C-alpha cells in the first residue's frame, strides 16, 4: 500500500520543473519517478540524482522493484528566483505480506461513491478487489465472507459481491458458500448480487443452492428461475 | 401509442418505506437517471411486435464493456409529454445504423420535469412494466445479431467481442 512521507531535501535534489517567478509557495507540480530495486533512477520526466541513504529510512522492507516515488515540489516565496524545495512527498509502493483491510474498505467505498457500479461496465474498484485477492487470497476471502455474512452495511456488501462476480476468486466450494450466505440474507440487494455471481461464475456447484432458494420477491423470483434455466442449459 | 425504454438497475429501485417522500427510491434515481446536456437517453420500442424488446437489449448491450444482465423499463411517450417533458428524436449512439433513428431524448429537463420523469419510471417499475435479461440471454442476443450480420463483431468492445467469438466457435 502507498505510504506517504515528508522530508526535507537539499536543493540539489530538486528535479527540473516549471521555472518559478517569485513563487507563491504553493505546490507547482508533481513528478513521477520510477526507481529500481537498488533505488537507481529508471525513468522520470528529467534527470535527478538520488541518495540511497536519504530514501532508505522511508522505504518499508522488503523494498521490491519497482518503487514509485511521487515528488511534489514547492518554491520558497522568499528566495528570489532560486527554486528551493521545501518539502518532498514520497509515495513508496512496496510489496506487503498482508493488506490493511480498513484501508481497502475506504478505497473501495471511495471508488463506489465516485462512480456507480453499473452492470456491463468496468469499475475502478474491480482492480482493487482483484489485487487483494491475488496478493493475500486467504485474508481477502475471510474479509469478504465477513462483509457478506455479518456487515451491517448491506448495500456495500452487495456491491462488493457484484464486484467479486467479475472475476473468479477462490475455489468453487468457497464461491458456493458465499453465494449461499448471500441468498440467505433478508435483504433483496444481497440476494440479487448472489444471483449475479451465480450467473457469472456458472459453477455446477451453484445450481443446488439456487434450486433450493425460495425467493419471496416476485420479480427477483422470476429472474432466479431464468438464471436456473440458463445454468441447466 | 409509442413506448420508450430506459435502462435501469432494478434492485436500486426498491422502495424504502410507505411515506410519500420515500416513494421514489433515490438510489434508483442517482444510478439510472444521469442526464447529459439536460437530457435523458431513451429508445423507442413496439411492445406489440415480437423481437422489439430484444432489439432494445441488443442496442444497449452492444455498447457495454462486458456481457452482463440488463434491465429496462417501459413508459409511454405520451405520459412524458403530458407532464411537459419534451421527447426529441436524436441520432442514437449505436453501431447498428438502422436503429439510430429509434433514439429519443427526454430533453430540456429541469428539476420539476426531472422529478416527474423519476415518478413515471418508478410507477412503471412498481407496475412491473420492465424486463430484465439474464447474462445468458444477452449473450444469445448479441451472438445472434453477429451471426445474422446485423452487428459487426469489430464494433464490440474487446471483452464482449472475445466472449462472443468464443461462444460462436463453441456453438
In this structure, is the dihedral angle defined by the CA atoms of residues A28, A32, A37 and A41, taken in order, positive or negative?
negative
Nearest C-alpha of chain A: how many angstroms from B99? 20
Calpha distance A113→B25 (Å, rounded): 17
Tell me the domain boundaries of chain B.
Answer: 3-135
Q: Please judge whether B135 and A218 are an interchain contact, meaning their C-beta atoms are less than 8 angstroms apart.
A: no
Per-residue pLDDT of chain A (233 residues; tens, 9 = 90+): 333 333 333 333 434 433 332 233 333 333 334 444 444 333 333 333 344 455 554 444 443 434 444 444 443 344 433 333 333 444 444 333 456 888 899 999 999 999 999 999 999 999 999 989 888 888 899 999 999 999 899 999 999 999 999 999 988 999 999 999 999 999 999 999 999 999 999 999 999 999 999 999 999 999 999 999 999 98
- Helix axis angle, A124-135 to A154-164, nearest 10°: 80
pLDDT of residue A44: 39
Calpha distance A108→A127 (Å, rounded): 10
Residue that wins the pLDDT comparison between B119 and A233: B119
pLDDT of residue B16: 76
> Which of the four pLDDT bands, split at 50, 70 and 90, describes residue B23?
confident
Nearest C-alpha of chain A: how many angstroms from B88? 26
C-alpha cell at B156: 464490440
pLDDT of residue B21: 66
Q: Can you tell me the ipTM of this complex? A: 0.93
Calpha distance B152→B68 (Å, rounded): 19
Q: Look-up: residue for cell 433515490?
A: B26
Q: Please judge whether B31 and A192 are an interchain contact, meaning their C-beta atoms are less than 8 angstroms apart.
A: no
How many contacts, defined by CB atoms under 8 Å, are there between A and B?
A: 55
Closest B-chain CA to A189: B11
**pTM of structure:** 0.74
Calpha distance A42→B162 (Å, rounded): 35
Residue that wins the pLDDT comparison between B22 and B124: B124
Percentage above 90 pLDDT, chain B = 88
pLDDT of A77-113, one tens digit each?
A: 444 333 333 334 444 443 334 568 888 999 999 999 9
Q: Please judge whether A116 and B137 are an interchain contact, meaning their C-beta atoms are less than 8 angstroms apart.
A: no
Tell me the domain boundaries of chain A.
Answer: 3-92, 101-232
Q: Please judge whether B14 and A189 are an interchain contact, meaning their C-beta atoms are less than 8 angstroms apart.
A: yes
Q: Please judge whether A121 and B67 are an interchain contact, meaning their C-beta atoms are less than 8 angstroms apart.
A: no
Average of per-residue pLDDT across B60-78: 97
* Residues in a beta bridge with A71: A31
Strand A67-73 and strand A29-35: the pairing is antiparallel
Nearest C-alpha of chain B: how many angstroms from A196? 8
Q: Please judge whether B30 and A116 are an interchain contact, meaning their C-beta atoms are less than 8 angstroms apart.
A: yes
pLDDT of residue A17: 39
Environment class of B93 (CB within 10 Å of its CB; exposed 0-12, middle 13-18, buried 19+): exposed
Q: Residues B65, A121: contact at Cβ < 8 Å?
A: yes
Partners of B64 on chain A (C-beta within 8 Å) are 120-121
Amino acid at each position: 500500500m502507498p505510504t506517504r512521507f515528508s522530508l526535507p531535501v537539499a536543493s540539489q535534489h530538486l528535479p527540473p520543473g516549471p521555472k518559478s517567478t517569485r513563487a507563491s509557495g504553493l505546490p507547482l507540480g508533481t513528478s513521477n519517478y520510477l526507481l529500481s530495486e537498488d533505488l537507481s533512477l529508471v525513468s522520470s520526466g528529467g534527470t535527478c540524482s538520488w541518495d540511497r541513504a536519504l530514501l532508505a529510512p522511508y522505504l518499508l522492507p522488503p523494498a521490491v522493484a519497482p518503487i514509485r516515488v511521487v515528488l511534489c515540489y514547492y518554491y520558497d516565496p522568499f528566495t528570489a528566483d532560486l527554486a528551493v524545495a521545501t518539502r518532498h512527498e514520497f509515495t513508496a509502493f512496496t510489496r506487503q505480506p498482508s493488506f490493511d483491510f480498513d484501508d481497502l474498505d475506504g478505497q473501495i467505498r471511495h471508488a463506489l461513491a465516485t462512480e456507480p457500479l453499473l452492470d456491463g461496465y468496468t469499475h475502478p474498484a474491480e482492480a482493487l478487489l482483484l489485487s487483494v485477492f491475488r496478493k493475500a487470497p486467504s485474508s481477502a476471502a475471510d474479509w469478504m465472507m465477513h462483509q457478506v455474512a455479518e456487515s451491517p452495511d448491506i448495500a456495500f456488501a452487495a456491491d462488493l459481491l457484484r464486484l467479486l462476480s467479475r472475476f473468479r476468486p477462490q475455489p468453487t466450494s468457497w464461491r458456493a458458500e458465499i453465494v449461499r450466505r448471500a441468498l440467505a440474507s433478508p435483504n433483496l440487494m444481497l440476494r440479487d448480487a448472489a444471483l449475479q455471481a451465480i450467473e457469472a461464475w456458472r459453477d455446477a456447484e451453484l445450481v443446488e443452492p439456487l434450486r433450493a432458494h425460495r425467493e419471496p420477491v416476485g420479480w427477483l423470483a422470476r429472474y432466479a428461475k431464468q438464471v436456473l434455466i440458463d445454468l441447466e442449459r | 401509442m409509442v413506448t420508450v425504454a430506459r435502462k435501469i438497475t432494478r434492485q436500486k429501485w426498491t422502495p424504502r418505506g410507505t411515506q410519500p417522500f420515500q416513494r421514489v427510491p433515490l438510489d434508483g434515481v442517482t444510478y439510472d437517471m444521469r442526464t447529459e446536456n439536460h437530457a435523458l437517453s431513451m429508445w423507442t420500442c413496439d411492445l406489440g411486435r415480437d423481437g422489439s424488446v430484444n432489439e432494445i437489449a441488443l442496442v444497449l448491450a452492444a455498447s457495454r464493456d462486458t456481457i452482463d444482465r440488463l434491465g429496462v423499463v417501459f413508459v409511454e411517450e405520451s405520459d412524458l409529454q403530458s407532464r411537459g417533458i419534451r421527447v426529441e428524436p436524436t441520432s442514437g449512439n449505436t453501431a447498428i445504423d438502422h436503429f439510430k433513428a429509434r433514439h429519443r431524448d427526454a430533453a430540456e429537463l429541469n428539476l420539476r420535469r426531472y422529478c416527474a420523469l423519476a415518478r413515471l419510471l418508478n410507477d412503471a417499475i412498481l407496475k412491473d412494466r420492465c424486463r430484465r435479461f439474464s447474462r445468458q440471454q444477452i449473450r444469445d442476443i448479441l451472438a445472434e445479431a453477429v451471426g445474422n450480420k446485423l452487428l459487426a463483431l469489430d464494433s464490440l468492445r474487446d471483452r464482449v467481442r472475445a466472449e462472443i467469438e468464443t461462444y460462436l466457435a463453441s456453438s
